Structure 1
Amino acid sequence: MSTDKQIFARRESEARSYCRSFDTVFTKAVGSEMTAEDGTTYIDFLAGCSSLNYGHNDPDMKAALMDHVSADGIAHGLDMFTAEKAAWLEAYEDIILRPRGMDDYKIMMTGPTGTNAVEAAMKLARKITGRRNIVSFTNAFHGMTMGALSLTGNAGKRNGAGCGSLCGVTHMPYDGAFGDGVDTLKQVEMMLDNSSSGIDAPAAFIFEPIQGEGGLNAASKEWMEGVARLAKKHGAMLIVDDIQSGCGRSGTYFAFEGMDVEPDMITQAKSLSGFGLPFACLLVKKEHDIWKPAEHNGTFRGNTHAFVTGRVTLEKFWKTDEFQSKVQEKAVMLTTGLQAVADVVPGAKLKGRGMMQGVDVGSGDVAEAICAKCFEKGLIIETSGADDEVVKVLVALTVSPENLRKGLDILLEAAREVTENNKIAAE
C-alpha cells in the first residue's frame, strides 16, 4: 500500500522544505543510497546535510544501538552519570582530543541541535567578558534560534524571526567577501582599531571554517589565523563553529587542523552521533568553564543513544589515519568531477574544500534546475549560497568510489542538459 502524500500537505507545517525538492516517500536507506516507496533507489549527495558523514545505517553502530536498547539500557538520563556517557567521553578524549594536543578542553552537553551549542557559546562568551557584542561574518549560518539567528547573515532566515530585535552582533566581511583582491581581514582590523567606528568591544568572534549554507566559502589559513590573532588582541573569545564542516567533512576531524588557531570554544553537532541521532556539544577551554550548575541546561542534553553510536564512530573511523587518508583521496576525486561540471556551465567555479565542495553556477535558478534534473536521474543533491547559486555536495565520507563517480556522472549530465536547454531558450 502506498502512502497518501496528502497527509503531509494537510497536517505538516508550511515550514517543511527538503521534501519540496525531493517529492517522494522514502522507506529505506543504506550507505549512500536511499530507496523510495516505489522502489526507486537514489544516490544520496546530501547525507542529512552532513549529519550522516558515515552513511545511512552503519552496521556496527546499528548493532551497538540495538544491543543497548534490547538490554534495557538507559534511553534518557538528563545529565546524570551513565556508563554510555563515560565510554563516549573517554573515547573522545583518547581518540580526538589528546592526539591533537587538545587535552585542555572540557565538553559541555547542550541541547541536541547545533543552534543550541551556538547559543551556549554566545552566552558563555558574554558571561566571561562582560561584553555583549559578537562579531560574526557575511554569509554566516549559525542556527535558527534567536541568538544564533542574530549571527546568521541570510535575509530569508532572519526574516523568519518575525521581528527586528536580532541585535548584539556586528557583521563583518568573511574571507573573499569582496573578491580575491580585497583583504577583508585588514578591513576588520581597521574597524576594530578605530575608536570612532561605532563598534563596541567584542565579547567574541565566531566563524565557520567553511560556510555550508553560505555557499561553501572556505576561509584561508591566513584569514583564520588572523581572526584568532584579532580575538586575542581585543580580549575576545574565539568561537569556531565546526558543526557542518567538522567530524571529517573538511578532510580532517576539525576543519581548522594544521593551522595556528586555538579556539576558546568549538561547536560540534551534525555527525557527532555518527548515526543521524540528535547530539550536540560545546568544547570549552577549561579556564573558561565558569558555568554554575544548570545555568545552561536542557531536557535532552546528552543523548544516551547517541553516546552509544558516537563511541562506535570514534573507535571505527578515527583510531588511525586510514579513514582520514581515504577521505582526502575521495576529495581529490570530488574536485576533479566538479571541475568537469564547472567546465560545462558558463562562468561557473568551484567552491569549498575537502568533502565539502560544490559548483557556483552563478544563478539560483540554474542551480535549482540542475538539482531538479539530478533528482529525475536518481541523485539527491541540494543548493546553498546567498541566492542558492551553489550546487553543493555533502555525500557521506564513506561513499564508495563507484557511487561517487556515478553520482558525479549524473551531476555532469544534468548540468549539460540544463546548460543546453538554457542556450536554446536564449536563441
Structure 2
Amino acid sequence: MNHRTQVGIVGAGPAGLMLSHLLHLAGIESVVLEARSRQYVEERVRAGLLEQGTVNLLIETGVGDRLKRLGLTHHGIELRFGGRGHRIDLSGLTGGSTVAIYAQHEVVKDLIAARLAAGGQIIFEAGDVSIHDFDGPTPKIRYRIDGNVNLLSCDFIAGCDGFHGVCRPTIPAGVLTMYDRIYPFAWLGILAEARPSSDELIYAYHDRGFALHSMRSPEITRLYLQCAPDEDLGKWPDERIWEELQLRLAAGKDWKLNRGAVIQKGITEMRSFVVEPMHSGTLFLAGDAAHIVPPTGAKGLNLAVADVRVLARALTDYYASGNRDLLSSYSETCLRRVWKVQRFSWWMTSMLHRFPDDNLFDQRRQLAELDYVTTSRAASQTLAENYVGLPME
C-alpha cells in the first residue's frame, strides 16, 4: 500500500509523539511509525524527571491532566558527601521553578491517548523500516505490516527512533560529525516497592562510588549505584544492593533507607554523544537519535522535547509561509542548548563519580567542588538553573 502524509515520524517515544502532537495543533498531518507494540512502549521504564519547561509544554498543549494529578513536584535536591546532606533550593534560586517526578512511560501513554483521540495515525509493530530519497523533495519511508510492504511518501522525515534506530545510520558517510565519550563506569539501578526515604532526590558522593536516591511515586523508589561497565548482575543479590545503598547514602548513623521488594534491576551505561548537524536534506534527527547524555543530570527526555519544539515551530512556519529559514537553522538552534546540557551532565557526572584513574588529589578536588557548590549562592544557582532547565531556545 502506498499512502502520503506531510511529516513521516519514525519512533513513538517522547520525541516522535510530542512532535506529532505539536504538528496536529498547528494543522499539520503526520504519521508515526513504531517498531514495537503499543503495550511495549507504554510500559518501557525510562527517565522520570521533567524540567519546568517540559511540564509547562505538556500542560499548555492539553496533555498534562494526569501529570498535574499524579506528578510529584520537587522544589529542591540534596547533595550528600562526607556523611552530611546539603540541600540545593531549586525554587529559591530560580525564581520559583520546579521539577516534576513523572515517569517517561506515563508521558508516552498521555501522548498516545491524545493522538489517537484526535484521529492521529500511529502504526505500531512496523517492521523493516527504512528511509529513502531524503536528499530530494519527496522522501519515503518503507515498512512492513502484517507481512505487507507499505510505502509512506511525505515532505519531511523526523528521525525520532533513538540511539540505535535506523534513521541516523542512513545518512551517508562524511555528512555527520560524531562527538562521543564513554564513561568508565555504569549505574546498577533498581525499582523497589518501598516508600521513598526522602522527599527529594539525593545525589551522594562516597569513597565506594556514587549513589542516587530517586522515586517514581509515593510508593515506588528508584535507586542507583555506580558500578563497573561490565558488572555481573548475578553477583548482586538484593540484600547486597540494599546494604551498599545504605552505606553510600547514609547521612548520620540514624538515617535508614526504606527497603522493599525489588521489581526491576538493570545496568545503565554512561555515555555522552552528539552528532552534527542534526539534519540532512529533508531528514531531521531529534532526541536520542541525535544525542545521548549521561543520566546524572536527568536531561534525556527533556532534551528530546526541546528538539521537537524547535522542529515543530520550523515546520509550522514552513507550511504557513513557505519559508525554510527556521528549518535551515534547526541544527544550530538545537545544538546551542544540546551542548550546554552536555556540559552540565558531564559536570554533574565528573563531580559525583569515582573514576578508576583518580588519585588522592582528584578526590580532594571533587570534595572541594562539592563544598563550593553547596556553600556559594552563585555556584548553587548555576546548578539550579541548569537542573530545572535552560530556556528552550
Q: TM-score range by the shorter chain?
A: under 0.3
More strand by share: 2
Q: State TM-score, norm by structure 1.
A: 0.21
